[in-house]
Amino acid sequence: MRLLFEIFAQTLRTLWAHKLRSFLTMFGIAWGVGSLLLLVGLGEGFRSGNRKQFDEIGENVLFIFGGRAPALNGSFTSLRQYYLTYKDYQDIVAECPDVGAAVPIIARDDIRSVSDFFQSSGRLMGIPPDFNRVRYTPIADGRWIDEMDNSQRRAVVVLGDEARRVLFTGRPSVGSTILLGGMRFQVIGTLKRIGHGDNNTMNLRIFIPFQTMAANFRPLNVGEIDNAISFINYQPKVRERNEIAKLEVHKIIARNHGFDYRNPDSFDEWDTVRTSDQVGKIFDAMNMFLGSVGLVTLALGAIGIINIMLVAVADRTHEIGLRKALGATKRSIMFQFFVEGAFLTLLSGGLGMGGSGGTDGGPFHLAFAPRMGYAQTRARDRRAGHRIARPGRCYRGPVSSAKSGHAATG
């Protein structure tokens, strides 16, 4: 044991006597290890941010909207608009064995909400009670819409986090009432904040029972269709059968609206499962690239270390000869060099890991994670923007508004 302490002390004295060489060696190792961990962590940060964005929409959710189909089968010159109906939703539930859950939604962006204190203009959505099975809607206070609310067409509302903050700043919201299009609704629940940053469009959403919405706030610009809906959200029973479930839904929609389901341009939809898989492949390639860059950097650092240690042995030839003359064995001399190399490697590797750990990748997935919205994949941009509410007292006139940087997810 005493011999080990003596060797370790001699190692420290030797490294201190060659400070510049020791520093260059440690810097090469620390730079290689830190670069490898930082680059791989960067790729994982992107992946984590992307996964979080999709989780905040819902698990394996697909959106389908009304679209444009050929006026006559086989015609590519004339198109007609068709709108989804409540019957489409019922047929999907009844006839699509690979669809696990489906919900119809009616959405309006022109309904102003007014409380006793402020007013707001977020997206109003009529949804059935099982909407929270398909979409991510975490309750912060109160309760969610239930079957009785929907069947009896009750005037109840659940507020998104930003809508609650605007309408009831610093005041209790559950149990209070607001006006929607001149009708009085009671607030029965509020949602937790979804997403991060200044993207408030999802948090400005306001939810009321589907039947209440259908009776009082029909979709706009759908002609004389009585049971029109804005879009349908559905999930496959198993993620791997996503394409089969989507084909079954296409056949139902095409049959009900009189066009060929084999024409993909007739469907206006967003498949988050496919999008997630495609983005995942991009991140896999990014991880491979960043990891290879880190490995090359680490290899270059290792080559530098080998050269420096070779120079160290060459410079200490006289010292080695003197120690052998005094009776040192070859094994003890090699062990001392091994201890020097191991000490430099462990210390500089720890410094590299500590430096990369200080940048944990959190800022990367916050800054670069993609903002998800159905408008990204829609064939036609039906909404050029979204109005963001600003606090303003009711008796002082209309609330000022601004255009959002991107459309909200439905």
Per residue in 323-374, pLDDT (tens digit) is: 788 887 888 777 777 777 777 778 777 877 787 766 554 444 443 444 444 3
Structural domain count of the chain: 2
Residue 14 belongs to a domain: yes
- E strands, 263-315, are 268-271
CA 110/CA 182 separation, integer angstroms = 13
Contact in structure between 66 and 262 (CB atoms under 8 Å): no
For residues 365-390, give the mean pLDDT: 40
pLDDT value of position 3: 60
Q: Is the pLDDT of residue 251 over 90?
A: yes
Are both 40 and 83 inside the same structural domain? Answer: no
Are both 287 and 264 inside the same structural domain? Answer: no
- At 151, is the pLDDT very low, low, confident or very high (cuts 50, 70, 90)? very high
Are both 161 and 223 inside the same structural domain? Answer: yes
Range among 27-41, 259-273, 285-299, 352-366 with highest mean pLDDT value: 259-273
pLDDT value of position 363: 43
Range among 16-30, 156-170, 197-211, 322-336 with highest mean pLDDT value: 156-170
Residue 269 belongs to a domain: yes
289-297: long-range pairs with CB below 8 Å, 24+: 290/39, 290/40, 290/42, 290/43, 291/36, 291/39, 291/40, 291/43, 293/35, 293/39, 294/32, 294/35, 294/36, 294/37, 294/38, 294/39, 294/40, 295/36, 297/31, 297/32, 297/35, 297/36
Residue 375 belongs to a domain: no
Are both 48 and 147 inside the same structural domain? Answer: no
Q: Which of 148-162, 338-352, 384-398 has the lowest mean pLDDT?
A: 384-398
pLDDT value of position 347: 78
Are both 29 and 134 inside the same structural domain? Answer: no
Helix segments in 152-241, DSSP class H: 161-167, 210-216
For residues 88-98, give the mean pLDDT: 95
Contact in structure between 127 and 145 (CB atoms under 8 Å): yes
Q: Is the pLDDT of residue 177 over 90?
A: yes
Is pLDDT larger for residue 75 or for residue 217? 217
**Which position has the token pair 């929270």?**
132
Are both 247 and 288 inside the same structural domain? Answer: no
Residue 122 belongs to a domain: yes
CA 385/CA 205 separation, integer angstroms = 15
Q: Domain limits at 257?
A: 62-273+380-403
For residues 289-309, give the mean pLDDT: 75
The tokens of 351 are what? Answer: 């410094």
Are both 219 and 93 inside the same structural domain? Answer: yes
Residue 321 belongs to a domain: yes
CA 281/CA 285 separation, integer angstroms = 6
Are both 25 and 66 inside the same structural domain? Answer: no
Are both 38 and 157 inside the same structural domain? Answer: no
Q: What percent of the chain shows pLDDT beyond 70?
A: 80
pLDDT value of position 6: 67
Are both 344 and 248 inside the same structural domain? Answer: no
For residues 156-167, give the mean pLDDT: 93
Contact in structure between 146 and 371 (CB atoms under 8 Å): no
Range among 44-53, 259-268, 368-377 with highest mean pLDDT value: 259-268
Q: For residue 244, how many C-alpha atoms fall within 13 Å in the half-sphere facing its CB?
A: 12
pLDDT value of position 210: 96
Q: Which of 44-48, 132-136, 253-257, 283-287 has the lowest mean pLDDT?
A: 44-48
CB atoms within 10 A of CB 14: 17
Residue 237 belongs to a domain: yes
Residue 409 belongs to a domain: no
Residue 102 belongs to a domain: yes
**Which position has the token pair 């859950």?**
101
Is pLDDT larger for residue 89 or for residue 286? 89
Are both 256 and 390 inside the same structural domain? Answer: yes
Contact in structure between 97 and 80 (CB atoms under 8 Å): no
Is pLDDT larger for residue 289 or for residue 367? 289
Are both 301 and 349 inside the same structural domain? Answer: yes
